[in-house]
Structure 1
């Protein structure tokens, strides 16, 4: 047995009362009696019918997800509500008007019954249609949410092996050339994977956690590159709790190392910054002092070899934030590249 939902019950009652007022006005203009008498009859019949039908649909067992009984039960409920409204409401109207005989004995009784039946069916169909439309909207929203979650999980599932394979390839090189550093890198990898895999599989996590994972990854890369890699994470404490997608910046840092710093003998520096703009958007930047974009390439395009990481970030932003999530590559005047990510933010934890 379903519980009584007070808000939709009252909303339906108000709409029914307005519908009854319209009927009373029409009957008055048609010359069927004084306004006040028609109003009392109409409200009494209509509200009793509404109360029986609306309470009945909420209390009946077997109501479907639209909040209305299945099949013949729905039709029977409307019939019972209409007859109850005509009978009880008619008595109320008779008492108010001082009629000498009951409504169903009046000359206008049959016409009133027809109006009651037509009005009951019309208003019930209106409420049923609205309830069904709201149910379909909720169902579509839920399906869209589940599809979004599945898409994000797929993207994350693609991203994590990509990072792991690249790291293992680097580790393989060190095993032959520098076993001690290979051992240190393996230790960092185990710690990084333990921290990453033990974290909850949430769609969002605090920016502070994102920076912690990024620091672990950069320490991992620093074992292999040694003094050729320097980095800085510049994140104001006020932004630590802002929710961001997990592993959002790692592909950008990985690109900066692989395509910016590694081609240079001297290596370079990576700086990760976070700030907010006047439009309530979080701005994240991964800047390097590396080789820069390919000659002649537009500043906002992806350079060759960077497509996987950029495509991952761009698709995740699009899935979560739509057109409000953007990423662009900017060639820095002094050399190097800056990847800038922007999306709307909330100041609370996810």
Structure 2
């Protein structure tokens, strides 16, 4: 019983309940003003009757709908239960509100029984129409809110599916590149090929053993990147050096998995490998206002100045941009520029969690 009440009376539902109560009170005051102007009685007495009928009906209907809804996230019970609930609220509100009004004004209890047929019918119709109007208003707002929630849920599921698809494209892309390099080393340098295979085995074990979450801490992304760079170091030897700089206060910031690896792959393939002496890759994170900036810098051959930076890098950069747009929208960006000491700098900008 307690568990059922907890599921029904969540903080969000209680907030809606109170909002409905305030709206009902205001609506009851408006009805009292109209009835007083029309000559049905004094303002105070009409206010007592209208307010009592309205608030009792509100409590019965609003609490009843929450109890009937139970675990369902739909705002109103549909079909016969919903109709019976409104009628029950009207009857209880009409009887209880008139009893309170009669007691306040000193009239005989349930005086409406002595009304003429015309007056009794008009009184009942005012109560019924007002209650149905208020209920329909609440139902419309609740339905709109429910549909917005369903749309948001569908959009989130679509985004999740899109991110999963992009990640499944990125991982084979990295794996195929590594296997191609491994094939060359098997023929030219078997010991290094064995070491590279061991590193690949370790990398895949760490990557595939974890759940394929849509986000993980930035520290996990840097650790995954360190494993990848160790793997590449086996192939490139002294031609590849790297530095990773992650401030302590940014370690737990959530980011999409495999966000940085395509940028490092691009730096190695287009920056360091074409350079005879190789070079260094430096990856660092920093806070700038309410944004997180992640720089991937290399000391390679640099950007091809004959074309815009946004066209350089092919598959990896396009996928990073698509993932940023999917998760963060226009608040994020990926920019390429020439490094301060030569080479290329790729900078990711994304909003920090509130």
Q: Is the 8 A contact 2:75 2:146 kept in 1?
A: no
The aligned residue for residue 299 of structure 2 is: 289
Separation in 1, partners of 2:46, 2:148 = 39
Cα distance change of structure 1 residues 346 and 58 upon mapping to structure 2, 3 Å threshold:
closer
1:122 aligns with 2:130: no
Aligned pairs for 1:41-80 within 5 A:
41-60=49-68, 65-80=73-88
The aligned residue for residue 192 of structure 1 is: 203
SS of the residue corresponding to residue 152 of structure 2 reads: helix
Aligned pairs for 1:89-128 within 5 A:
89-100=97-108, 102-107=111-116, 108-128=119-139
Query: Which residue among 158, 178, 203 is the counterpart of 1:147?
Result: 158
The aligned residue for residue 323 of structure 1 is: 330
The aligned residue for residue 282 of structure 2 is: 271
SS of the residue corresponding to residue 301 of structure 1 reads: helix
Question: Cα offset for 1:65?
Answer: 4.4
Deviates more, 1:60-69 or 1:182-191: 60-69
The aligned residue for residue 218 of structure 1 is: 229
The aligned residue for residue 260 of structure 1 is: 271
Separation in 2, partners of 1:242, 1:271 = 20
Unpaired segments ≥5 residues, structure 1: none
Cα distance change of structure 1 residues 60 and 210 upon mapping to structure 2, 3 Å threshold:
closer
Aligned residues: 343
Query: Which residue among 184, 192, 209 is the counterpart of 1:181?
Result: 192
Q: Is the 8 A contact 1:64 1:70 kept in 2?
A: no
SS of the residue corresponding to residue 327 of structure 1 reads: strand
Q: Is the 8 A contact 2:328 2:351 kept in 1?
A: yes
The aligned residue for residue 170 of structure 1 is: 181
Q: Is the 8 A contact 2:295 2:348 kept in 1?
A: yes
Instruction: After superposition, give the CA deviation of every residue in 1:242-296 in whole Å (9 maximum; x if it has no partner).
Output: 2222111110100111111111111111111111112x11111111111111132
Deviates more, 1:161-170 or 1:220-229: 220-229
Deviates more, 1:144-153 or 1:50-59: 50-59
Separation in 2, partners of 1:55, 1:233 = 57
Question: Cα offset for 1:173?
Answer: 0.2
Question: Cα offset for 1:232?
Answer: 1.1
Separation in 1, partners of 2:104, 2:181 = 92
Separation in 1, partners of 2:251, 2:300 = 28
Q: Is the 8 A contact 1:273 1:286 kept in 2?
A: yes
Cα distance change of structure 1 residues 325 and 70 upon mapping to structure 2, 3 Å threshold:
same
1:131 aligns with 2:136: no
Deviates more, 1:234-243 or 1:33-42: 234-243
Deviates more, 1:77-86 or 1:126-135: 77-86
For the aligned residues, what is the CA RMSD?
2.0
1:17 aligns with 2:25: yes
Question: Cα offset for 1:236?
Answer: 2.1
TM-score (norm 1): 0.92
Question: Cα offset for 1:333?
Answer: 5.0
Separation in 2, partners of 1:234, 1:245 = 18
Question: Cα offset for 1:238?
Answer: 2.6
Deviates more, 1:9-18 or 1:223-232: 9-18
Question: Cα offset for 1:124?
Answer: 0.9
TM-score (norm 2): 0.91
Cα distance change of structure 1 residues 104 and 9 upon mapping to structure 2, 3 Å threshold:
farther
Unpaired segments ≥5 residues, structure 2: none
Question: Cα offset for 1:310?
Answer: 0.4
The aligned residue for residue 301 of structure 1 is: 310
Cα distance change of structure 1 residues 142 and 63 upon mapping to structure 2, 3 Å threshold:
closer
